[in-house]
């Protein structure tokens, strides 16, 4: 499912226009992004948890040339599904 399909599905479930549904979807994405940028975790009961993980600097290897490359420390977003989502997927 891509964003357009998600917006269409949300519009159908809400009984609203696609424009209103897109505003709602964008608002949710913006809220998630803002919280993660601040380093907060977002807990959605029965769905899962979005959080930020710090990554350490490391040395990697370019598979095409074999040359070593320095990868700087950084942050990455991750998602851990909740029990209800896991059960729904089974």
Instruction: Judge whether 58 and 52 are in contact, CB under 8 Å.
Output: no
Residue owning tokens 């350490």: 56
- pTM strictly above 0.85: no
Please give the pLDDT value at position 80: 96
Cα–Cα distance between 90 and 35 in angstroms, integer? 30
- Reported as a single tens digit per residue, the pLDDT across 54-85 is 999 999 999 999 999 999 999 999 999 999 99
- Reported as a single tens digit per residue, the pLDDT across 35-52 is 999 999 999 998 999 999
Instruction: Judge whether 17 and 11 are in contact, CB under 8 Å.
Output: yes
> Which one, of 32, 78, 30, lies nearest residue 54 by Cα?
78
């Amino acid at each position: 499912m891509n964003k357009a399909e998600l917006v269409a599905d949300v519009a159908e479930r809400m009984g609203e226009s696609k424009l209103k549904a897109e505003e709602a979807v964008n608002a949710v994405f913006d809220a998630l992004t803002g919280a993660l940028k601040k380093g907060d975790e977002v807990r959605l009961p029965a769905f899962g948890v979005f959080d930020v993980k710090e990554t350490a600097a490391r040395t990697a290897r370019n598979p095409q040339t074999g040359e070593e490359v320095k990868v700087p420390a950084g942050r990455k977003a991750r998602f851990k599904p909740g029990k209800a989502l896991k059960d729904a997927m089974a």
